[in-house]
Chains A and B, each alone.
Chain A
């Protein structure tokens, strides 16, 4: 294990310090643009506040639209992070090392935005605190509030714990910068890399990994409950919990891949993020795509086979009706594109994986949309079924949400290394041996047998 006392070769990880030390002008400008878009979103929100939720395109049957779609989508993406990183940590997948930090940041950043989207959707946002004053535990919305809060706390801690040694590194690296130094000093909690500290930290990380997984699973399960706990056609489904979790991880991985490619490009992280990482993540994405398709297929097949009239109205509106374009685009983006690209080793290049990921992100957003809107637009009673067109306010808030997410991400990378330095070091120092040890432990005791088999095969 690495210790910061043991002098780290700062030069070796120069690339990682660069964004902090010599922030690139282009990125600053880009952040400025993002902030401007966010401000535009804020302006939209002020307008919405001024005129009421009527400023959106929501209407009587279609009373949830972009905001809830974004909410589900963003919370879904948040699974990228913590869940994947926790699972990989638990599984001791060594290739995780340069990825975990990126994933965790996604989680934390995106959770805020998801939560904000739910606030956007409230008719009386200033009464949101009623949830805590007068909360009714029977309501899935309160389960949501609780589990999201828990997840936010847990994943913040989970992000922060492994960050401490790195902050200490930064503290030492930037000893000459007064404010920055002081900033890191506060947050490094006096980390000195002593074995005791390392032990505590490791225990902390392990505990958090264990804790975070059920919380993450619960978050999206509970979000699915918002829909499945109602009696509405194509919402009231038992499969929704796992379906949503699967979709969340699916979109999370895609988001992670996209962020990795982007950051690799702008921060020149090629030495850290190698094609192998993308290959592995690509395989993971492929698996999730297949799993997602399996869920979707069985969800729609059971609905179709039962042929319950109200259910079928929604079904047909998705399959052949008003929402068919969204639905089939979703299938194309979520299944056809990723499976076609990722099934072939040759196409699992960084570019290929990126294309598949972007496709999945778009597809998953559409998936949320096609789950929410068509059901609302086709209520049970013969009611004037509604048509929903988002207004520019909703588009503005959606754009604002996305750009604020990227902004937060870049802001983080502006102050903290986006790849865990100490974990890379740890990988070098401890991981290699550990892995070798572990692989050995998988295999039969005598090395001779192994060697002789190898020989046999080669001949």
Chain B
């Protein structure tokens, strides 16, 4: 069984935010409008976290794209009272929207703030609904939503493979953000396969995890900016 994981090379990342919009487009993530945005209710499963240090002219800004990190020891899963969020055998931390009761305990528990809440039923003009991705359910009000590693793509890739009576290849399944990354800074694959790109890159000396000391064991690995090369 595969264990899906992602590697984001910060030395290649350009903070262009394409991953973010690709995610919104793929997963029918609503835009919330000015009023809601001002109240801090933008939903964006993947977010570019920026951190600036120093004072002009000695400044330094780091940009870190943060999808759900799909922890192997996810703090959000443990606290969900109704099994609406759980870690599936392939390592995807899933959110079942129709089960969620909207208590937001998982959001409070997530140290990465990777979960989002539908504070309202977000509605968009009817004409724009045509642009919805029919593969992904449109979340309704009052439930928590989050990055799913585009698990609907896995479902479909697996279904295609099954219909063709073969095993699914790991590269048939790629989340939307990885697919569009212009600088090819994101990699996706099977962590159980020691020769997959993500496994190889994960062993790079540049590799680190976000808030590693919390012991959440994220499956999204970052590669530090800097001179040393990835092992590719």
Contact = CB atoms under 8 A, between A and B. Distances in A.
Q: Do A and B share a direct contact in the complex (Cβ within 8 angstroms)?
A: yes
B82 A52 contact: no
Contacts of B119: 52-54, 58-59
A232 B211 CA distance: 12
Nearest to B216: A231
A387 B119 CA distance: 16
Interface in B98-132: 99-105, 107-109, 111-113, 116-121
A136 B142 contact: no
A231 B121 contact: no
Interface residues of A, number: 46
Interface stretch (B35-43, B181-189, B190-198): B35-43
B111 A380 contact: yes
B211 A380 contact: yes
Contact of A64 (B104, B112, B210, B214): B104
B215 to A, nearest CB: 8
A381 B41 contact: no
Interface residues of B, number: 44
Contacts of B100: 123-124, 127
Contacts of A123: 100-104, 117-118, 141-144
A425 interface: no
Given A122-B102, A381-B113, A381-B210, A134 B107 contact: no
Given A123-B144, A131-B82, A382-B49, A60 B103 contact: no
B212 interface: no
A271 interface: no
Contacts of A382: 49-51
A229 B39 CA distance: 28
Interface in B162-216: 210-211, 214, 216
Interface string B45-85: 00101110000000000000010000000010011111100
Interface string A22-53: 00000000000000000000000000000111
Nearest to B101: A127
Interface in A51-75: 51-54, 57-64
Interface string A62-103: 111000000000000000000000000000000000000000
Given A60-B42, A130-B99, A380 B112 contact: yes
Nearest to B102: A123
A59 B116 CA distance: 10
B49 to A, nearest CB: 6
Contacts of B47: 383
Nearest to A121: B103
A407 B103 CA distance: 28
Contacts of A381: 49, 66, 111-113, 210-211
B80 A136 contact: yes
B82 A63 contact: no
Interface string A352-391: 0000000000000000000000001001111110110000
Given A138-B78, A139-B79, A382-B51, A128 B41 contact: no
A63 B75 CA distance: 17
A45 B42 CA distance: 24
B81 A135 contact: yes
Main secondary structure of the interface of B (DSSP, over half): loop
Contacts of A133: 82
Interface in B8-38: 36
Contacts of A118: 103
B109 A232 contact: yes
Given A122-B103, A130-B101, A54 B41 contact: yes
Contacts of B111: 231-232, 379-381
Contact of A386 (B40, B51, B102, B105): B40
A361 to B, nearest CB: 26
A140 B108 CA distance: 13
Given A54-B119, A123-B144, A232 B83 contact: no
Given A139-B80, A376-B108, A381-B211, A134 B51 contact: no
Contacts of B118: 52, 123
Contact of B81 (A54, A57, A131): A131
A82 B45 CA distance: 46
A150 interface: no
A75 to B, nearest CB: 16
A57 B39 contact: yes
Contacts of B216: 231
A145 interface: yes
Interface string A165-206: 000000000000000000000000000000000000000000
B141 A141 contact: no
A139 B118 CA distance: 22
Contacts of B103: 118, 121-123, 141
Nearest to A235: B108
A120 to B, nearest CB: 11
A161 interface: no
A59 B120 CA distance: 11
30 contacts: A52-B121, A53-B119, A53-B141, A53-B142, A54-B41, A54-B119, A59-B39, A59-B40, A59-B119, A60-B41, A60-B42, A64-B104, A118-B103, A123-B100, A123-B118, A123-B141, A127-B100, A136-B80, A136-B81, A139-B78, A139-B105, A140-B79, A140-B105, A229-B109, A230-B79, A231-B75, A232-B108, A376-B108, A381-B49, A383-B47
Given A64-B104, A128-B101, 9 more contacts: A52-B121, A53-B142, A62-B40, A63-B117, A123-B144, A131-B81, A229-B79, A381-B111, A381-B112
Complex A-B, nearest 6 residue pairs according to Cβ-Cβ distance, in ascending order: A123-B102, A123-B142, A54-B119, A59-B40, A54-B120, A141-B81
